[in-house]
Structure 1
Amino acid sequence: MQFEYTPKVKEMQAKLLAFFDQYIYPNEKRFYEEINANRQAGNAWVPSKLIEELKPKAREAGLWNLFLPRSPRAPQGLSNLEYATLCEIMGRVPWSAEVFNCAAPDTGNMETLERYASEELKDKWLEPLLAGEIRSAFLMTEPAVASSDATNIECRIERDGDHYVINGTKWWSSGAGDPRCKVYIVMGKTDPNAGRHEQQSMIVVPADTPGITIKRFLPVFGYDDAPHGHMEIELKNVRVPVSNILLGEGRGFEIAQGRLGPGRIHHCMRSIGVAERALELLCKRALSRVAFGKPVANQGVTQERIAEARCEIEMARLLTLKAAYMMDTVGNKVAKAEIAMIKVVAPNVALKVIDWAIQVHGAAGVSSDFPLANWWAHQRTLRLADGPDEVHRNAIAKLELAKHMGLKPEDVKMPVARGF
């Protein structure tokens, strides 16, 4: 495996770091002040003016839609390995990915539309998403069932002439709180009597379709994540054209397998970035504070944690790069063990480093004066989002056991796990 970046990627990395120095880091405080001002004015769900100001600058710098490989509609898209170093940088400031049109869940939805939608659906929805003009949400997780097993999904998608009628309740529909969210990709059951993995389908649903009700937003450890938001949504007799189905009935599980692979590794790339940033804050705080007669940085426990953090971040990065390399060279199906492994490793490493940084900051670490508490809350959700740790560990174990049972990796059915 060759992880040396090409001159093109090195140039883009330098551009992105310069962009962060000029526009992102100096505006971190302004972003949260803007969101809090909207919240205090009674409407937290107002798009960020700062992000809209920065988007044209990112496009002008050539730092736009970098996540989508092999797409004629986004020729600037990079391979997973090339994108890894840039996505890691974006992870250093969680809200920054949207500036470059590389934010979830839009990235996963754009990849889904690119790979599986008709040209008509691409023209209508993919193009404005690629332009950063609208946003989207992915509706898979449900409150009434354990969505860690996607075959449990109960939302019904039933054919009625030239339309499908959708009924069900979804929650943790990230991004649905944003008023720019104009389209959903919904997963539901078209045939409960089909095979276990052929019951599900995915369909494109305009967000303003009659019968859709946003019932409430769901805070994460007290954070509303405005203006993004995580919503509970009721779909009651929602009618959309038959042409909005992706690939055809019974293909939802297959699409989910393709969609969640890139989404999972993007989360992991960003987790490495936030872990690096947390380690930086830890070191700076440790050097600036004195306890028991010497700098906190000179305390043995602090040095041990700094060393362990550096080791674990490097190991997580290498596993991320290996998974990205395999996705590019042998495909997501062959790389499924590596994708599952990094999905377990990266958020847990980030959580550990952030937690140690909070300890060094003392009470300040859990306050809003520093971003550590917010980062911790977000990383903790990643141990559930796109599949809980337990599901990925089970998958890894099955693949390992298969080696000793005469089975090929492709013979092992991987679960589709989405949420909470």
Structure 2
Amino acid sequence: MEAVPARARAHVCCVALGAPLCLVPLPSVPASWWAVPLLAALYAGGERVARRRFAGTFYPVLLAGVFLLPPYAAALVPLPGALFSAVEQRPFLLRRVCRAAHLVIAVWAAARVHGALDARDAVGASDFPYVLVPAGAAVLVFCLVLAALDGAILALAEALPLRRVCHGLFLRSLAPVGVHGLAGLMMAVLWRSPYGPVAALLVLFPMAVSWWVFAQYHRERAAHQATIRALVQAVDIKDGYTRGHSERVGQASMMIARELGMDEGRVEVLRFAGILHDVGKLGVPTRLLRKDGPLTPDERRVIELHPEYGHEITRGISFLGEARSAILHHHERIDGSGYPYGLMGCQIPECARVVAVADAFDAMTSTRSYSRARPVRVALEELQRCAGTQFDPRMVTALVRVIARDGWHPVVTADETRPMLPSPARADDRPGARR
């Protein structure tokens, strides 16, 4: 998003002009001004460490300010940390201003809700459990406002559907911000206690431990992604004819899985399965993959071994789980005429039936050496025609339904501009062909 569209810049200008209104002090609502620079410095330092070391955000101090200070004073807390934070992409100033304005508005709105519920005195008196209700309402408002503002800039910059982006951001942020809210509430209670601000800082120690654990999880996830990227790139180098195909199959598999109501864990596994479904081609001789002409029966049998090769290649990758069975069985057919084992109906694992539909759909909607890309509508009609014989009707119906609602907008990160090596029209890749 280095070249920020004009509509996104207009959004930043609007929030930047609106944010100062949140900082106007109200004489009737006094504030402990000495607490503002202390919390602001604590937030700025914590945010810097959290972003560099843990790739996360540092909201406990902001939410402690929400519970301790009136709205106009709490809105000052995020300003230094946001305006002087490290930004990785250009334009730096625009991103800093946008982040600062979003946080100011979100903190101000949360503090207004918390103050409207007359909960500030309850924090000082440690009035549990009453204090939890207004604190929860403030955290919920903070999440909603921040998701709406961040979702708006993302939707405007990337031309994405606003409602879907905001909804996704809100759901993903609710749980972690809720945890940060509890930590912020504990900080506020200790801050107002006889032990004072020094005791409030002790709350941050368990938060740092949890961030470290979360960072380890992200490093492990990044290692998983790197493993998959390396395998896909190896296949693309060997068989440039399918460049980008694997990622599109992964995306279509994920769409089908979500439409079927699978949990996010299985959705992620099916994305891996779609991306790696052709990894077994690494075991097929390159001369066969690039042969310019029809394949002999013996050569076809060699190529039909690629699902088993893929299953063996991924044997030691434990995080793939059931994706390995999809790699092995994605060329099986419902009527039993597929390969490598001729399984029928429900004998074929569910994940393999999903990938089979996604694979055939992308094969039909992509330009190949032997055929031009078919329109999405025509490809879906062909899938419906083959449902019950080659494909699972439930998977086909799910793909038809999700594309009718959301459309087909494949996102491919592979370098598709790289010159492709010549390769033949292989019967095992043709939709509807006898494998």
Q: TM-score range by the shorter chain?
A: under 0.3
* TM-score using structure 1 length: 0.26
In terms of Rg, which structure is larger? 2
* TM-score using structure 2 length: 0.25
Larger RCO, structures 1/2 (Cα 8 Å, 6+ apart): 1
More strand by share: 1
More helix by share: 2
